[in-house]
């Protein structure tokens, strides 16, 4: 698998990573524990060394599962997790904030069964806490050897610049795909300028871009596709031209639509590393295989030109996802 170096910490990661969330959270039915652990081993054996989780996925359960799944190759991989400061936590002074952040990290380390994480993200930016204060805490955690690098998720360009000036960031992880390109305007160029890696989450738009889902499909439990508007029947139908386009390009190159979606972003930015998630090995292999799909300049320009003519309907927002838990 091709490698990419990201950010201040210079972490060397496979060009396509693996999002572990769906193994226990966010997409309904989950594989049993044995199967999930087997999948993680296969992901590693397939050449992927970049695993993504968060304390918030199934209330720490995902980190525990990942901790078990990666135990035999922990030191060979780049492990990323995330924290969120809850509104009820007392963080009005820097020493208090430091204690709270470190307690979050210590709990994650315990669940992950490790003594460091390679990449520690602030999962969502808190309006009450200056990003510079979080960045300072991250610097302390780096000095202590508990994390190797840090980053933000779904942050603005201002938040990135302010935080990066205090403790240089390794990566920004935010939603990016052919269906969600809002960060192309400011955030991704700023990452390029500052030498920060960009890690797209939901790079397949929750699987939609694979073209394997139809508008009649039913989703159950905590599956976000029950509530995100991208998966509403009318929007799925309205987005069909994008799938038709992808199928065409995929057929021309004898690859799949999911692979074209990922190859497009890998070609576009050399500091970008997508982390698609799947609970099925053949799809994981398909997604990791996108690292080997090389687009020529002509092919890439043609995709860009066609994409610019296509209107996208629906999206994925935290507000819509929160409806699942009310
Ligand atoms: N920072 C954040 O706020 C944030 C938010 C969301 C996600 N994330 C991270 O990003 C990772 C990826 O995001 P995501 O899981 O939301 O979106 P995604 O990777 O775009 O899509 C995952 C969904 O697509 C399906 N899928 C994946 N590959 C497929 C393929 N080749 N063919 C058909 N279907 C396919 C999966 O179903 P099956 O499992 O049934 O294959 C799953 O339902 C997560 O695992 C998580 O680590 C971070």
66-99 pLDDT, tens per residue?
999 999 999 999 999 999 999 999 999 999 999 9
* Average pLDDT rounded to a whole number, residues 10-25: 97
Rounded CA-CA distance 232/86 in Å is 31
State the pLDDT at residue 61: 97
Cβ atoms 85, 55 nearer than 8 A: no
Q: What is the pLDDT of residues 102-139, one digit of tens each?
A: 999 999 999 999 999 999 999 999 989 999 999 999 99
State the pLDDT at residue 59: 96
Residue 174 Cα: closest atom of ligand 1: 1
CA of 15 to the centre of ligand 1 (A): 16
User: What pTM does this model have?
Assistant: 0.98
Cα of 216 vs its chain's centroid, Å:
27
CA of 288 to the centre of ligand 1 (A): 13
What is the average pLDDT value for the chain, to the nearest integer?
A: 96
CA of 80 to the centre of ligand 1 (A): 16
Q: Which of 262, 264, 206 is CA-nearest to residue 236?
A: 206
Cβ atoms 12, 3 nearer than 8 A: yes
Rounded CA-CA distance 137/230 in Å is 37
Active site residue 219: no
CA of 22 to the centre of ligand 1 (A): 7
Residue 153 Cα: closest atom of ligand 1: 1
**Best substitution site from 25, 65, 112, 201 to test ligand 1's pocket, by max atoms within 8 Å of Cβ?**
201
State the pLDDT at residue 285: 97
In this structure, what token pair is assigned to residue 11? 């972490």
Q: Which residues line ligand 1 (CB under 6 A)?
A: 19-22, 27, 52, 123, 153-154, 173, 201-207, 210, 212, 258, 275-280, 283, 286-287
Confidence of residue 9 (pLDDT cuts 50, 70, 90): confident
Nearest CA to ligand 1 atom 37: 278
Confidence of residue 214 (pLDDT cuts 50, 70, 90): confident
* Average pLDDT rounded to a whole number, residues 179-206: 98
Check whether 261 has a pLDDT greater than 90: yes
Q: With left for phi above 0 and alpha for psi between -120 and 50, is residue 211 left, alpha or beta?
A: left
Confidence of residue 326 (pLDDT cuts 50, 70, 90): confident
Confidence of residue 293 (pLDDT cuts 50, 70, 90): very high
Q: What angle do CA 282, 283, 284 make, to 5 degrees?
A: 90
Confidence of residue 209 (pLDDT cuts 50, 70, 90): very high
**Best substitution site from 226, 259, 278 to test ligand 1's pocket, by max atoms within 8 Å of Cβ?**
278
Check whether 322 has a pLDDT greater than 90: yes
Residue 201 Cα: closest atom of ligand 1: 10
Residues 6+ apart with CB under 8 A from 243: 208, 209, 211, 257
* Average pLDDT rounded to a whole number, residues 274-283: 97
Check whether 37 has a pLDDT greater than 90: yes
State the pLDDT at residue 189: 98
Cβ atoms 101, 107 nearer than 8 A: no
Check whether 325 has a pLDDT greater than 90: no
Rounded CA-CA distance 61/54 in Å is 9
Nearest CA to ligand 1 atom 21: 206
Rounded CA-CA distance 87/127 in Å is 10
Which candidate in 27, 57, 120, 269 is catalytic? 57
């Amino acid at each position: 698998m091709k490698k990419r170096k990201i950010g201040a910490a210079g972490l060397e990661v496979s060009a396509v990573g693996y999002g572990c969330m769906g193994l226990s959270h966010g997409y309904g039915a989950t594989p049993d524990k044995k199967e999930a652990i087997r999948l993680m081993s296969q992901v590693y054996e397939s050449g992927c060394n970049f695993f993504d989780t968060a304390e918030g996925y199934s209330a720490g359960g995902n980190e525990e599962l990942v901790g078990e799944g990666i135990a035999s190759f922990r030191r060979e991989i780049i492990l990323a997790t995330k924290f969120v400061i809850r509104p009820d936590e007392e963080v009005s002074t820097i020493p208090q904030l430091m204690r709270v952040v470190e307690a979050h990290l210590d709990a994650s380390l315990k669940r992950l069964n490790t003594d460091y994480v390679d990449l520690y993200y602030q999962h969502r930016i808190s309006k009450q806490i200056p990003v510079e204060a979080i960045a300072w805490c991250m610097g302390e955690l780096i000095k202590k050897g508990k994390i190797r690098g840090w980053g933000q998720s779904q942050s603005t360009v201002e938040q990135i610049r302010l935080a990066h000036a205090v403790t240089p960031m390794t990566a920004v992880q935010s939603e990016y795909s052919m269906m969600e390109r809002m960060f192309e305007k400011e955030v991704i160029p700023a990452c390029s300028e500052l030498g920060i890696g960009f890690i797209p989450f939901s790079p397949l738009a929750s699987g939609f871009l694979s073209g394997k889902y139809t508008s009649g499909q039913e989703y159950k439990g905590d599956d976000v596709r029950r509530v995100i508007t991208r998966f509403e029947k009318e929007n799925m139908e309205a987005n069909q031209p994008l799938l038709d386009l992808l199928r065409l390009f995929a057929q021309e190159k004898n690859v799949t639509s999911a692979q074209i979606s990922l190859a497009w972003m890998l070609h576009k930015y050399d500091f970008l590393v997508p982390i698609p998630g799947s609970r099925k090995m053949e799809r994981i292999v398909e997604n990791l295989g996108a690292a080997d799909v090389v687009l020529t300049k002509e092919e890439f320009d043609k995709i860009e030109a066609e994409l610019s003519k296509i209107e996208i309907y629906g999206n994925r927002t935290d507000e819509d996802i929160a409806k699942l838990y009310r």
